Amino acid sequence: MAGLRLRRSTIYQGVEWFGSGRVTFERGVTLNRGVVVNHSGGLYMGENSGLGPGTLIITATHEVGPAAKRWGRGTSTRVVIGRGVWVGANVTILPGVRIGDGCIIGAGAVVSRDCRPHTVYVGVPARPVRELDPTP
């Protein structure tokens, strides 16, 4: 895949990729089985972050079109996942989202907005439920 930069990361079998944007993984990133990454808009993952099984990262979408074809012109926006982030199983991360350092995203969440650092997010749509200690 063109535009991929890895630094001592772990990618398990069954990870699927599609798109043409730049992908950067810092040291210690882990992608578990069944992860699907659309990287058309680009993806950055900070050091020691991990994606649980079945995570879906989408960086592309469509504008709303007219009645004859509702999926209009395609657009894409980079997803940024900070350092030390833990993304649980079957999470969906939508285009343009920034997940702050030290976040935990609970299993099954749909992340449609930016996430504050060192906070636990759960639900559909993902919402903050607990602050975490930022001390390393």
Once rounded to an integer, what is the mean pLDDT over residues 107-117? 98
CATH number belonging to domain 28-131:
2.160.10.10
Q: Is the pLDDT of residue 5 over 80?
A: no
Q: Where are the domains of the chain?
A: 28-131
Whether residue 1 is predicted with pLDDT greater than 90 in this model: the reply is no
To the question of pTM greater than 0.85 for the whole model, the response is: yes
Whether residue 32 contacts residue 53, with contact meaning beta carbons closer than 8 Å, is answered with: yes
Query: How many CA atoms lie less than 13 Å away from 129 in the CB half-sphere?
Result: 12
Closest-CA residue to 94 (of 117, 108, 78, 72)? 78
Q: How many CB atoms lie within 10 A of CB 24?
A: 16
Residue scoring higher pLDDT (132 or 12): 132
Over residues 50-104, the pLDDT tens digits come to 999 999 999 999 999 999 999 999 999 999 999 999 999 999 999 999 999 999 9
What is the 8-class DSSP label of residue 115? B
By annotation, the residues acting in catalysis are: 62
Q: What average pLDDT does the segment 28-38 reach?
A: 95
